[in-house]
Structure 1
Amino acid sequence: MFASIKWRFIVVYFLLVFIAMVIVGIFIIGRLESQQIANITSSMEQNIQTIIESISELAEDDWMIVQEDIQETLSAWGFGSNETLYVIKNDDIATVIASSSKKNKRIIGESAFINGKYMDSELILAAYNGEKLSKDIPDSNENTVANHIAYPVLTDVGKVKGIIYMVSDLENVYVTVNESKKILTNATMIALIITVFLGYLIASSITEPIRDVTNKAEEMAMGNFEQFVEVKSDDEIGQLASMFNHLTLKLKDTIREMDLERSKLDTIFNYMAEGVIAVDLSGNIIHANPIAIEILELTQEKSLEPYSIFREAIPLKLINLDDINYDDETTLEGDRSLEIDSHVYKVKYAPFKNERNNIGGLIIVFQDMTNEHKLDNMRKEFVANVSHELKTPITTIKSYTETLMDDGIDEEMEQRFLAVIDNECDRMARLVKDLLQLSNLDYKKTTWKKQEVSAKKLLKEILLKLEFAFKEKNHKIIVDVEENLPNIVIDKDGIEQVILNIISNAIKYTENGGEIQISSRCLDDTISIKVKDNGIGIPEEDRQRIFERFYRVEKGRSRESGGTGLGLSIAKQIIEAHNGEILLDSCFGEGTTVEIKIPYEKV
């Protein structure tokens, strides 16, 4: 029951009113009791003073002489039934000489100290010392409380002649107090009953809208989003209802947008040309599009089975997903090649994350590269065939050219034609040489003569060979080579060809008076050789294809400078054959930076 907020409200209201009434009751009753006693004490003092002033015999020094007169006066005095007055002489035994009580006449003539149940010795002794005191003393016989007051009567010189001792029963006071307690108790009970009733009404006015919102939210949790709450007020509860209705509208819009996006993604996923599968961390296929099912020869039932069944169907060891460490994000993204039934696929994979932003598995894309693979093979065969077919004609043309240059025809015309033929032969010879080199690299027929070479010395020799070319175009050359570069084990001719090609390109495509920076650094496990120029740069659309064979950014300018379009492709293959990498970064109109990284063995 107390799990409900309604009953919590009621209990809180009940406790607040109860505590408030108790505090008020204690304060009022206590104050009433003390005020009643104070009033009685004050009245007793006034009566005593009136008696002292009225009884002239009290002015006598020896009260024993006028004892009868004092007694007659007290007997005739109109004391109430709850009041008793004693006159005590100041002698050694505190003799009681008069009393207003008709029941206790025998106390007259006796010592006040031996009548403890009627008078208090402490008050008497204090009065003998000139002090006026009052005290509430319980009556052991009648189970009541009486107010005792001892009032000293002084001589003209301030000496105590005797004591007026007065006792007033407080029964009426406590009757009044008890009646007040009953009234407050009844008032408290009535207030608590009203509080519970009002608390129930107030709590219901608060909890009913909350319960309505809760029920609507439960319906929404079950998929029914057509839920709206009636707004009945402008207070916080009304604001909660308004916000709930606003949330409902926003949620419906969001779900509608999500459904639309999901529909788009499903359409894209199902009709895309590449095969796509998703696997979880356990290796289970959790989704596959129709192309992937066709490529992997899966049935719809199989695509829902554990990944091990799929693994047995095709040579997944070529993809080698077993070496992926899901705790290391650097291994979760990459691409590999895979051949299935004479089809070549480029397999790309990347991680996807779940709702907790944790890696939930891999998305694997199968891109059919069969045609590209065939074209690449055809191009390789073409390079090999052209190289071998052109070798003999070039030799023949060269021989005839040399013969014609010695003939007796018009010398000027003869020399001009023969020079052109000679240049074209040289160009074809370079082309054949490049084609043969590419063919050897493609088919791994190149024999590398690796030796330990000083990188610094190698760069120095290359720059010496290109010194004339630098001066011809008035280039500013900045060389920054780190001291104590380690030696590298390379094919000197091959690496020299790569560096010469890169620096030559920088010279070709940098305007006269331009700047070329050549630097070399020792990295963690590689030697970095970087060539940076401020030439014409490479357009963004050409950067991805710059290492392709026969690809030229400026075809006319490349031919004029004798380029074949094979230099960077050869350079890339030579560097990769040395387990290195070649990186190119360029900004059109601002310049190009080419970096070569060659591994070396640490000592």
Structure 2
Amino acid sequence: MKKTFVIFYALITYAVAELIWWGYMLVTLQPRRTGMIMGEGAMFVAVFLIGAINLHRSFNKERRLQEQKKNFLMSVTHELKSPLASIKILLQTIQKRQLTREQILDFIDKSLNDVERLDDMVENMLLASKIENQSYSFPKASFNLSVLVDSIVNRLQISKCDCNQQIIEAEIEPKVEIIGDKFALTSVVTNLIENAVKYSSPCSSVGVKLFSKDDKVYLQVADHGIGIADEEKTRIFDRFYRVGSEETRNTKGTGLGLYIVKEVLDKHQASIRVKDNRPAGSIFEVTFGLT
């Protein structure tokens, strides 16, 4: 890509130099037509520069996409290796050691959690691919969103902190019904909560609220983590986009979660906005219209 930029700028420099030279030659040979030559030359330069700027932007966009794809492949590799290594160690321990029934059940439970993590990641990649290829139809039906959110909160709940505290604090209004694609919206809720947990400090609370008001349904996921800069708030929904480089980033992820969230909500005529939490962190607020 760097070599392409060098060639691109060299060609632009050569073309401008040639234009100036030929303009000078024409003015020298036909001084009476200086005005016309200058006018046509200016028009040509303007068109040329507009084309060059657009081409430059295309190169930059392609370069950023390639970098994001590189980070995506690296992050997927890391995401796959971690749970697989954990499952392997747990199963080898069960195989090679004499454990109590309670220990075996605990190791199996941990292995199943890692399997669910892998399953979520695979589902994300498949759904993102179908969205990109426009091969997913988003079949909609009426369902209980309260039950869905509650089940996801219970599955993602973490209780490994001091005093065995639960870090996901949920306020879920019962019997909230909406019309939508239950499978796709499951991915939306899962991604939002997982993101909140991921970017929060250990044992920091995450708030999940579901309620209806004024013929609308609101889902809020709030964390007390690192927050999101204003200039990043629109870009975080781009495919593969993640802040920083994969070599130096501490948080895990593929850069597909929020892309899926935005695309799925667009298909449901729902909106999402990111607000600053106080004193720190972010709030993702999803709004569904009741139809």
Pick the TM interval, shorter chain. 0.5 to 0.7
Of structures 1 and 2, the one scoring higher in RCO (CA 8 A, sep 6+) is 2
Q: CA deviation at 1:442?
A: 2.4
Q: Distance in 2 between matches of 1:480 and 1:553?
A: 30
Aligned to 1:551: 241
List aligned pairs for 1:387-402, cutoff 5 A: none
Aligned to 2:173: 482
Q: CA deviation at 1:482?
A: 3.3
Q: Distance in 1 between matches of 2:171 and 2:117?
A: 34
Aligned to 1:582: 272
- Output the amino acid matched with 1:441: I
Q: CA deviation at 1:443?
A: 3.0
Q: Distance in 1 between matches of 2:279 and 2:58?
A: 32
Unaligned runs of 5+ in 2: 1-41, 97-115
Aligned to 1:445: 135
Residues 411-443 of structure 1: CA distance to partner in whole angstroms, max 9, x if unpaired? 9xxxxxxxxxxxxxx999987764443232123
2:217 is aligned, of 527, 534, 537, to 527
1:491 is aligned, of 175, 181, 185, to 181
Matched, 1:536 2:226: yes
List aligned pairs for 1:8-23, cutoff 5 A: none
Provide the secondary structure at the position in 1 that maps to 2:237. Answer: coil
TM-score norm. by structure 2 comes to 0.55
Aligned to 1:472: 160
TM-score norm. by structure 1 comes to 0.28
Aligned to 2:99: none
Assess, with a 3 A threshold, how the Cα gap between structure 1 residues 477 and 374 changes in structure 2: closer, same or farther: closer
Identity of aligned residues (%): 25
1:454 is aligned, of 119, 144, 165, to 144
Q: CA deviation at 1:373?
A: 11
Matched, 1:593 2:286: no
Unaligned runs of 5+ in 1: 1-289, 296-342, 344-366, 412-425
List aligned pairs for 1:88-487, cutoff 5 A: 371=57, 375=61, 434-467=124-157, 469=158, 471-473=159-161, 474-483=165-174, 485=176, 487=177
Contact 1:516 1:533 in 2 (8 A): yes
Q: CA deviation at 1:492?
A: 0.9
Contact 1:458 1:496 in 2 (8 A): yes
Residues 193-227 of structure 1: CA distance to partner in whole angstroms, max 9, x if unpaired? xxxxxxxxxxxxxxxxxxxxxxxxxxxxxxxxxxx
Q: CA deviation at 1:465?
A: 1.0
Assess, with a 3 A threshold, how the Cα gap between structure 1 residues 371 and 455 changes in structure 2: closer, same or farther: same
Assess, with a 3 A threshold, how the Cα gap between structure 1 residues 534 and 522 changes in structure 2: closer, same or farther: same
Contact 1:475 1:512 in 2 (8 A): no
Residues 488-507 of structure 1: CA distance to partner in whole angstroms, max 9, x if unpaired? 11111111111111111111
Q: CA deviation at 1:544?
A: 3.1
Higher helix fraction (1 or 2): 2
- Output the amino acid matched with 2:170: V
Q: CA deviation at 1:484?
A: 5.0
Contact 1:475 1:514 in 2 (8 A): no
- Output the amino acid matched with 2:181: D
Residues 550-592 of structure 1: CA distance to partner in whole angstroms, max 9, x if unpaired? 2223655996654111111111111111111111123697011
Q: CA RMSD in A?
A: 4.4
Contact 2:222 2:277 in 1 (8 A): no
Q: Distance in 1 between matches of 2:279 and 2:145?
A: 31
Residues 259-303 of structure 1: CA distance to partner in whole angstroms, max 9, x if unpaired? xxxxxxxxxxxxxxxxxxxxxxxxxxxxxxx99xx89xxxxxxxx
Assess, with a 3 A threshold, how the Cα gap between structure 1 residues 433 and 375 changes in structure 2: closer, same or farther: farther
Aligned to 1:508: 198
Residues 106-159 of structure 1: CA distance to partner in whole angstroms, max 9, x if unpaired? xxxxxxxxxxxxxxxxxxxxxxxxxxxxxxxxxxxxxxxxxxxxxxxxxxxxxx
Contact 2:225 2:282 in 1 (8 A): yes
